[in-house]
Amino acid sequence: MRDRVFSGSRLAASFPYSASSIGDEDVAPAPQQSAEFTCPQGHAFVVPFAEGAELPGNWECRQHGVTGGRVGDKSAKPRQKPPRTHWDMLLERRSIPELETLLDDTLRGLRQRRERG
């Protein structure tokens, strides 16, 4: 009889303290905290963490596959200044009326060269 394999039997069923012998009333869930995140596409999602765990500032959104930031996270990196463009640097050196005068002078010079040539 020992050499036979019983169909439908589980190995765990033969142990005295298998998972099936412990009732749900004896097991308390671990304390949890949850953090809410939003992805750049506007989707909000909640991720559970163990109580006392350090909450991350970013988490990957399962629906969109992009990294979302934690709602209300003050430690998240602040928004960076956008890079300065050529136009921004030009406006630091000259005003709009000066630029219009330069444009008129340049266009006038181009028209004169075109008439001569």
Cα distance between residue 36 and residue 44, in whole Å: 7
pTM tops 0.75, yes or no: no
Per-residue confidence (pLDDT) for residue 107, from 0 to 100: 97
| 25, pLDDT greater than 90 | no
Per-residue confidence (pLDDT) for residue 16, from 0 to 100: 56
Per-residue confidence (pLDDT) for residue 106, from 0 to 100: 96
Backbone angles phi, psi at 63, to 5 degrees: -75, -40
- Take residue 110 and report the two structure tokens written for it: 């181009």
* Domain assignments of the chain as residue spans, ordered by start: 32-72, 86-116
Model confidence over 34-56: pLDDT tens digits? 989 888 888 888 999 999 888 88
Which CATH number applies to 32-72?
Answer: 2.20.28.270
